Chain A
Amino acid sequence: MSISSAMSNALSGLGAASRQAQVVSGNIANALTPGYGRQEVQLSSSSRGGVGVDGVARRIDATILLDRRASDADLGGAGLRATALDRMAGLMDPGGGAASLSGRVARLQGALGQAIATPDAPAALNGVVQAARELASMLNTASKGMADERLAADRGIAADVEALRVGLNRVDALNTAILRAGPDGNALRDQRQAIIDGIAAIVPLQEVSRGNGAVALMTAGGQMLLDSEPARLDFAPSTAIAAGAVLGAPLSGLTVNGRALDMSDPSGRMAGGTLAARFELRDAVIPQAQAQIDGFARDLMDRLADPALDPTRAPGAPGVFTDRGTAFDGQQPGLAGRIALNAALDPAQGGAAWKLRDGLGAAIPGPVGDARNIAAMADALSARIRTPDDPTARDIGGRADVVLSSRAGLAATAAEAVVFSQARHDTLRVAELGGGVDTDAELQTLLLVEKAYAANARVIQAADTMLQRLLEI
């Protein structure tokens, strides 16, 4: 009968309106939830008359999401690199002109000049000893700082791999749950998106939808990480990293499903993201910085260990700077951490500062005005010579300047890369958030829903009145 069908139409309208109200309330409640997909009720006219609810769609712009996740990874990697380079530059130049590597070298040279003028003054000789001690100590601190950075990078890799593993497992579990939940899986989908966002910085991910709501995860470089089951990631963290350690001996690389990956390739399968950045730091950037200061330490040590400098020294005996107490032992990696002031010169270690003037092998002090040894040392430091690492002939001060400026240059370039990355990330994030819940739009929808509900309720009232009239006959 047409009246009863009118009623059933109005009932379907009421159902649709109340469903829409439910969805609107859900959207407004989640207006501040990041990663929430704005939900929309999909209506169509039903073949049985009235309106049918096809389902609740989750509106997410997949392209922007993909781009934003890629920029997350980019920003993460750039940020890591910039922080590490900045910290290493700070090891060489803690902020004051005199406290930097160049400043300490200048102080040593100045102290030597003063000692040449007054070689009889214990204060002048002690000044040289103090300046030399501080220079060696700065190199030691810098070397230790870089070694710590390297170990931190290794630990970071282990943490990233673990986070990736956990994330992939959870996404796999949610895939199954979404499959089972069917049309009511929107909240689970939100959760899955949030988990993938959590691991997006580690390696740039692409979501590939498989049937029935499940997704597969692939890196931008083409490594399949999750497709019906998560990939197996293996990494063995190191407890301590010695100075000359390299990838493979004994540092571990990354293995995916049993196959070793080359993380140093900038277009590799797991490249672009904090994982690749940490590998780059551990295996390339930090060792290069360590080699640079080791080269500087070697130059410093060799200049003052020249056999022509001090005739009282036994052949093979160390000069002003020792390699942990002895002459250079042939191992240049880590030399900056081992360089030390010769104990024979240090009053605190039972030595005497006058040996600077009279020779390291001298038994008793000689003529107090004889500054020849000290002058020879000063000349050795100011001589412009080449080293295996640096083909330009420079004096020791110039070498220090090169170390400082190259560190500063690298840190500056990395910082600029972060600025660019951050700007791009901001734009994409704003675009992504723009597709989220707009409370004004939801309230407008609510107005329409209220009106529709009232209209449908009125129709039911009218149909009911008509039926009553019929029954009163």
Chain B
Amino acid sequence: MTPLSSGDLAQSYVQRRANTRLSNDLTRLATELTTGQKTRLGAQSGAVAAIDRTVQRLEAYGPVLAIATLEAGAAQTALSTVGASVDTVRAALALAQDDAPGIVRDTLSRIGTDGFRSAVAAVNTQAGGRSLFAGTATDGPALSGADRMLDAVRAQIAGVADPAEVGRRIGAWFAPGGGFDTQGYQGTTQSRTALRVSADATATLDLRADAPAIRATLTALATVALADSGSLSAADSLSMARGSLGDLERAGRGIIAERAAIGATQATLEAADIRNQTERTGLLRAREDLAGADPFKTAIDLQQAETQLQTLYAMTARLSRLSLADYL
């Protein structure tokens, strides 16, 4: 038999459930509106977590790129200073005249010494507190003092009268296996490792002060600087100094080649930075699509939920007033 009446508790149960549901919806929508993020992600939260992780990785490349850019820039500047010293000495040599060879020789030797000192100082540059060209011993200078090195070489060529022998001994001192390895170069023979600057790019700044290009530059500059040492005659030492023009030119080209390598690294760093930024922007946009709460839609839903709740309150009040007991 179909029931002719409906129990009191049924209506109140329905109203209570509706009240709970609407209040929960209201709270959820209010949170979504203020934070701009969906609160119930469900199965999407795995994808969102993956995006967050990748964005975090990309942002971590920022400081590394900054350090690498700083060091690459400082290395470029240092090498350009070395190149400038070489050019200065070359210019001086080219302009030297033959008359009064003693005075010319002394002048050239002074210019050469200045150039050597300036090159050594440039190679000893530090960026961010780290030596650039000392290999893995970044806490100390790459080369020992310019004057110390020149004195060591001077000791090697003391009393030698043959210009060819002098040139050979200077070359031997700066060559691998000579005194430069122990008394000149102060760093380690291990280059620095490559830095990871984006998901698939690395940047290497592994030029050391004992590289062939630097050795050749220092040899050529030292030859000019030590023109007034040894037991050479003024004319011999002048011709020896002039003869090192070719070496200076080759050294200069070597420096330019190293600068080009660093320039390529700088280009890699720039490209990595752009790539990271682009990828980050794209990922953040994808995250917005997945987990972002559209403010307009959320505001509309919030208003609707509010209206529904108010209607429910009105209905509850009305229905509870409907009772036969009031009329008896």
Contacts and interface: CB of A to CB of B under 8 A. Distances in A.
Interface of A: 31-32, 34, 38, 93, 97-98, 100, 102-103, 105-107, 109-111, 113-114, 116-118, 120, 366-372, 375, 378, 397, 400-401, 404-406, 408-409, 412-413, 415-416, 426, 429-431, 433-441, 443-444, 447
B137 A412 contact: no
Given A106-B53, A443-B328, A367 B45 contact: no
Contacts, number: 177
Contact of B64 (A38, A113, A415): A113
B188 interface: yes
Given A116-B193, A434-B7, A436-B10, 8 more contacts: A107-B56, A116-B64, A117-B68, A118-B67, A367-B136, A371-B193, A404-B50, A433-B13
Contacts of B13: 426, 429-430, 433
A34 B46 CA distance: 43
Given A93-B45, A408-B43, A368 B64 contact: no
Given A369-B135, A401-B53, A440 B5 contact: yes
Nearest to A431: B10
A109 B58 CA distance: 11
B287 to A, nearest CB: 9
Interface string B38-61: 000111111111101110110111
Contact of A435 (B3, B59, B64): B3
B168 to A, nearest CB: 33
B67 A443 contact: no
Interface in B278-328: 323-325, 328
Given A32-B9, A430-B13, A434-B3, A114 B60 contact: yes
A437 B8 contact: yes
B7 A436 contact: yes
A114 B64 contact: yes
Contact of A404 (B49, B63, B194, B196): B49
A429 to B, nearest CB: 6
A416 B40 CA distance: 11
Given A369-B134, A434-B3, A109 B9 contact: no
Interface string B178-199: 0000000000101011111000
Chain B CB count within 10 A is highest, among A105, A109, A433, for: A433
A405 B57 contact: no
B283 to A, nearest CB: 12
Contacts of B88: none
- Give the interface size class of chain B: 35 or more
Contacts of A447: 328
Interface string B1-45: 001111111100110010000000000000000000000011111
A408 B60 contact: no
B136 A105 contact: no
17 contacts: A32-B8, A100-B49, A114-B60, A117-B67, A117-B68, A366-B136, A367-B188, A369-B188, A371-B192, A372-B190, A401-B49, A406-B46, A408-B49, A413-B43, A430-B10, A430-B13, A434-B6
A436 B13 CA distance: 12
A195 to B, nearest CB: 19
A408 B41 CA distance: 9
Given A113-B60, A118-B130, A409 B43 contact: yes
B8 A31 contact: yes
Nearest to B53: A102
B277 interface: no
B139 interface: yes
Contact of B56 (A106, A114, A367, A409): A106
B195 A116 contact: yes
B144 interface: no
Given A368-B139, A372-B193, A438 B6 contact: yes
Contact of A440 (B128, B134, B324): B324
Contacts of B10: 430-431, 433-434, 436
A173 B107 CA distance: 123
A370 B325 CA distance: 91
Contacts of B239: none
B81 interface: no
B138 interface: yes
Given A103-B52, A440-B324, A367 B135 contact: yes
A367 B191 CA distance: 11
Interface in B100-141: 128-131, 134-139
Contacts of B53: 97, 102-103, 105-106, 397, 400-401
Nearest to A443: B324
A436 B67 CA distance: 77
Contacts of B136: 366-371
A367 B54 CA distance: 32
Given A106-B56, A118-B130, A113 B7 contact: no
Given A117-B195, A408-B43, A438-B5, A110 B60 contact: yes
B57 to A, nearest CB: 5
Contacts of B61: 113
B276 to A, nearest CB: 12
A351 to B, nearest CB: 22
A114 B66 CA distance: 11
Contacts of B134: 369
B220 to A, nearest CB: 28
B299 to A, nearest CB: 24
A426 B138 contact: no
Contacts of A378: 196
A371 B13 CA distance: 68
B115 to A, nearest CB: 28
B50 A408 contact: no
B193 A404 contact: no
B190 A97 contact: no
Given A93-B49, A401-B53, A437-B7, A367 B137 contact: yes
Contacts of B3: 434-435
Contact of B14 (A38, A97, A105, A430): A430
Given A436-B7, A439-B323, A443-B325, A116 B190 contact: no
B190 to A, nearest CB: 6
A405 B49 contact: yes
Given A38-B7, A369-B192, A100 B64 contact: no
A436 B3 CA distance: 10
A38 B139 CA distance: 91
A380 B220 CA distance: 45
A433 B9 CA distance: 6
B325 A439 contact: yes
A408 B42 contact: yes
A368 B43 CA distance: 46
Contacts of B196: 113, 116, 375, 378
A368 B45 contact: no
